[in-house]
Structure 1
Amino acid sequence: MDLTYTGGRLDRAGARRKDEAWVTALCGRPDLRVVPSWRDRTFVRRNGDDAPAPVLLTPALARAAVASPPSDWTLLGLDDDMPVFAAEVEEPAAAAIAAAVPGTEIVELRRVASTLAPAEAAMLAYARGMLIWHRRHRHCGVCGAPTESRQAGHVRVCSACGAETYPRTDPAVIMLVERRVPGEPATCLLAHHGRLAAGMFSTLAGFVEPGESLEEAVAREVLEETGVQVGAVRYVASQPWPFPASLMIGFRAVATTFDLVIDPDELTEARWFTAAELRGAGEWGDEGADLKLPRRDSIARRLVEGWLAEN
C-alpha cells in the first residue's frame, strides 16, 4: 500500500549519531541543510504551477534563522552524503525565510503532503514529529528538572538526575469494518466525529492501551464506539502519523453483529455504507458534497479505497 509519509530515503545514521565529534563535524559542513518548522508548520516553495518542494536552509540562512545553536538541532540523517537537520524558528525568522526563498509558503503539512514527492513528505513528517517531541520533553518526567539534547537530538537527558527520554510514538489502530450478509450488498462501517469536517465519514480508530494486543485493541475500540462486535481481524499496513506523535496501524475487520449503538462522547454518527454510496462521495474541502471521504494523505482513505476496489 503506497501511503503518504512513508518511503523516506534518509540514512538515519543511528550508530554514528552517538559520536559527538562526528556530529560536530556535520554541523560545520557547507553542504548541510536544515528543515525549518514554525508553530508545527512546514515551509514549501512553489515554482509557478510546479508541485511544491520542501524549503531546505543553507548553513548561513539556518544560523541566521534558528535561535538555538547547531548542537541543539536534530539530525534527521544523510541524504546520500548530505547532512539534513531539523530546527524550530521564531516568528521574525519565519518571515525572513519566506522573503529570502522565492515562492515560499508556510503551511500545514497535511495540506500539501499528497502533492509532494513521497520521500519529501516522509522527511517533513519525520522532522515534525521529532521537533514536537523535543518541545514537549524539555523537563524531566522523573524529577522535573530541565533536559538537554544528546545524540544529535535523538535522546534528552535530565540535567539533574540523568534520566534519559527517547522519542515516543503512540500506537493507534485504525480499521475498516465490513459487513457480509449472503444475498445483500457488502457494506462498511464509517463514522463522523466532531473533529472531522461536516459530512466527512472515516474509519474507526483508537489508541492501543497497556496490556492489549493490536487485534484486541481493534475489537475493543469498535465495540466501545459503535456497539459492533468483530470476529476476523487482518493487518493491512501502517503509516507514520506525526499529528502529533502516532503510528497508525491499519486493519480490516469483519463484523459479527450489525446493530449500532454509538458512544456520543466519541462519535456524532456511524453508518453502514454500500460501495455505490461511497463512490458518489466528495473530497475534503468540497463544500457542495453532503458525504465526503477521508483526506487523501491518510491510511483511512486507502483502507476505504482498498475496500471499494473489492466491491
Structure 2
Amino acid sequence: MPPHAQNQPVAAMVESVQPAVMKESQGDGEGASVAAGQRRKVGPSRIKLSNFSPKEDVFLVKSWLEISCDPIINTEQKKEGFWARITSQYNNKRGSFHERSFISLQSRWETIKAETSKFAGHMANVLRDNPSGMSDADKDEPKWMELNIRGARPGDDDAIADHIPTADCDLETPSSQYSGSKRPMGRDAAKRQAKKSASSSPLDSSQYVSKLQDLSIQKISIWQEENAKKGSRYEKMAAIESQRYDEVRQHNQHMVAIEEEKLQIMHTKADILQTHEEKRILGIDLDKCAPRLRMYYEKKQQEIPKNIGADGDDSVDP
C-alpha cells in the first residue's frame, strides 16, 4: 500500500466506520424496542430521536477535536465541563439536525472511538504486512525514492540531497546506494570529539582564557557602573529625605506657634471675662440684695481687692 494511504482525514475515517456503527446502533435499537414492548408502560413515553447520521458523526468528531485541542483551556477542565462544552459546540454546528443531549453525544462518542480504534488497528496491520509478491527490499527501489523525498521532513535537507541522483550518475546503480542518509553523530560521540578538540589545540585554550579575562573585566566594569548608579541614587534619596525632614520640622514649629497663639488668646479672653465679672460684682448695691445674696456678694467684694493686690495689678474702681 502506498505511504499516502496512511494520512486519511478524520471525516473519512468516521465515514469508513459508519456502517458498522450504524449497524450496531440499529441492532441495539431493535433489541431495546422489543424489550420496551415487553415491559409495561407506566408513564408518558419520550419521543425517540433517529440514529446518528454520518454528517452528525462528523460534527461530533470535529467538536471533540476543537474542545480537546483548545490551546487556552487544554486539559484544565473536568469531565462534566469538557462534555458540556462539546455538547454546546455540537448543537451550534448541527444545522437542521436534531439537538442532542449530553448523554447521547457521550454514548455515541464511545461507540465511534471503539470502532475507529478497530479500524486503525486493521489499517496498521495492513501497512505492516507486505502485499502479495513483495518483500522488504522492494521499498529501496529507485521508483520509491522520489516519493520518500516528498514525504521527508523540512529539516532533512542532507538526506534529500543524498537521495537525488545527478546527471552523471549511472541509471543502473545498485539499490544499496539508495538505502538512506548518513547516520547523525550521537551525543556521547559529540562530547568526546569536543573534549578531544579542546585538549589538542593549545591556541584555542589561550583564546578561551583571554575571552574569559575579557568577560571578567567587562563584569567588573559593569559592577562598578552599577555601584556608581546605586551611590548616586542613594545620595538623591538621602537629599530628598533631608528636605522632607526639614519641611516636617518647619511645619511642626509653625503648628506649635499657632497653638501657643491660640492659648494666649484664650487666656486673654478669660482675663477679660474675669475683669468684667469682678466689675459687675463690685458695682452691686448690697442694700438692695436679698440677705443670702448680700452675704455672698459682700464676701466676693472683699476678696476681689485682695486678689488684685496679690497679682500686682492696678486697683479696680468699684
TM over 0.5: no
Bigger strand fraction: 1
| Smaller-chain TM-score bracket | under 0.3
Superposition TM-score, scaled by structure 2 size: 0.22
Higher relative contact order (CA 8 A, sep 6+): 1
